[in-house]
Structure 1
Amino acid sequence: MSGVVGVYRHELKRIFELKAIFSTLFVAALIYAVYYPQPYRNEALRDVPVAIIDLDGTTSSRELARRIDASSDVAVAMVLPDLATAEREVFKRTLSGAVVIPLNFERDLLHGRSSPISLYADSSYFLIYSRVAGAVTGVTRAYGAEVETARLIGLGINPVVAASAVGPMPLVSIPLFNPQSGYATYILPGAFAIIMQQTLLIAVCLLATISGKPGGADPDVSSASAVSSVLGKLAAYLTVAMVIVPFYFILLPYFYNIPRLGSIVVILVAAIPFVLSVSALGLVLGSLFRSPLAVQLTAAALGMPLFFLSGFSWPIEAVPPVLRALSQLIPGSIAIAAMTQVVEMGASIADIRNQFLGLWVLALGYTMLAILLEWRRRRKSISAV
């Protein structure tokens, strides 16, 4: 037990004394906290510029154009005479789409005939395309329903019956846990988990490489066993993480107005296996490197693969089975779902038991592997002497 305590104190001291480690764990956290969320502060994409090509020029067509412009998602930036002109503006990235209101639009509506509206939108940026398509579709359907209801009432049909005939199954959409349907609310909790994994992993690997240098070992802890060494280091990393975890998952969501229904105790408990699994993985990977430069180069190379395998940018259910299985070896892939549910949805440990147990399995597995590698390294050192 004394060996574990000695290693714990020594490792904790190194974390605060080594500038590279302190900067990675604490300074980087502050930089990410200020810099990363800024592009998403507006939550939702608003006022995407589109053009209106009104070939009818009637009261009804102008009313439709006005309603499209009044939508919060798109804004009518130009009224153009033809589609060719609109295409040139889209190619120049001045516009993201064009809505064509056909000739005889109003006459067809008054006669009860369909009058299709054409939308030409740039789908090379899918988020913009979905906003434009959703806004125009919603406005045209609502306006069409009003026109059809008014036509039926004009034929002498009861207003209630006319409204029911036009929309027999009205949809009421209630966005749970994300009232604004905002992009920041969706992306930031998962991003904070990925950032914490990346910074903690780099810090642990750097500590492993620095301790492996000649003269880097402390005589007071050199006699500790492999088990005591690994457990003492994990305890030190867990202590530091218990300061970082509230910053990422309690303070930042509050500061950026992200829905936060989770209990502080549950958040901290859920984070324990996440921190231990990442730290133990860092000890395993750190045993493979010989210098801090190798850690930095490898971290830069693995950053994007780990990001894509986390199921953060693309649903993990849609990932090929082999890569999906590989992603389960990455703590962040499991922690994203767990921490998001706990922080935003107020889930309990029982609600995330599969992810919680999965993180503990990774923590135990990587810890045992780290102990084995540490024991092997010491055997080699003794043999070399």
Structure 2
Amino acid sequence: MTTTQEAVTAAERCIAEFRRDPHPVYAHLRDAAPVCPMKPPHGNETYLITRYEDARAALSDPRLSKDMYGAMDAYRRIFGDSSVALDDNMLNSDAPKHTRLRRLVNSAFTPRRVEALRPRIEEVVQSLLDACPTREPFDLLPAFAFPLPITVICDLLGVPPEDRSRLQQLSTTVAQTGFGEEFKRAQQKAEEDLHAFFTDLIAAKRAHPGDDMLSALTAVRDNDGGLTENELVSTAFLLMFAGHKTTAYLIGNAVHHLLTHPVQLRAVRERPELIRAAVEELVRYDGSVESATFRYATEDVEYNGTRIPKGALVQIALSSANRDPRKFTAPDELDVMRPGNAQDAHLGFGHGSHYCLGAPLARMETQLAITRLFDRFPGMALADPGGGPRWLEVPFPAFRGLAELPVVLEPAG
């Protein structure tokens, strides 16, 4: 008879194997159960969508709501009460609220506005590379991949430099996924600290406004009533959190896969004009958002012959959709010259009204990070090429990223 501990150990082993490489599981589900009922630890009835066409349709289906208040019982079972105050934002809302909140920040992320940030992003990239050791192994994630986007988004928001490291630490705790009591207490404390931080920062912007996005949003709140006080705090958190975490993991994933695919790396280095298409392919191949944030069915809906009952949660596996052979030829191959590597081909940044607001910024940061890194250190290599990557291990998919990325910028010999 299997003991409880043996069962737990087996489950942990399965999770670890899935985190190392989820794609064989997704391939099986796309064929055998493209809309798969699940029993996750939080206990809410959930369906996982894995095929591209179903995923694309579900991402813009008005019957699949993003309004967390409409599924509050389910939300609390998953995230607890402390998350509610930080989640009163566009990510967790439907029209017209979503439209109103998104419109207030949309102008800061237009391609023209993002292009104006290029000199500052170049400056941050070069400064970070200046500080990296060249002849000894080090972890590229905390030294380069994370500081780049957190610096850029905090510049935009107007977060003081001395607070940025703490914000990154708190957001890392919030991003972790688990169900133990110790984990929940740590996450709740981090969420409370983040709420207090942004509440205090907004008060400071009121007293001494600057030329930054948070000052502008605070002025809109006070002068035009464009958003509530809690929406303002929650929006500030969302922009900070989403504005760095996903981009950092994307940069790490991209560097790892280029280092392990030397033919693809050589193509990008020899033909710099490929960098835009290369980033789109890297997002498709192994993007940093494995699964879209949850939706819930406001009525009975049917996908691929499977009925999803009213009230059930829906998870959309973006990583699986982006490897669907019904959409992409040889989807498990990384090909930076893949025909049709357009921005709207993959679902790595979502689709529909909730398409990632910061996608233009994430693209530019990733393009510049890859270009400058390999231009400056053409001999860069993995510190332990035979060791295999260590991926984040979480009970269910959210972020897809490396736990570490040890590299040597200028290997001996």
More helix by share: 1
Structure with larger Rg: 1
TM-score (norm 1): 0.26
Q: TM-score, normalised by structure 2?
A: 0.25
Higher relative contact order (CA closer than 8 Å, sequence separation 6+): 2
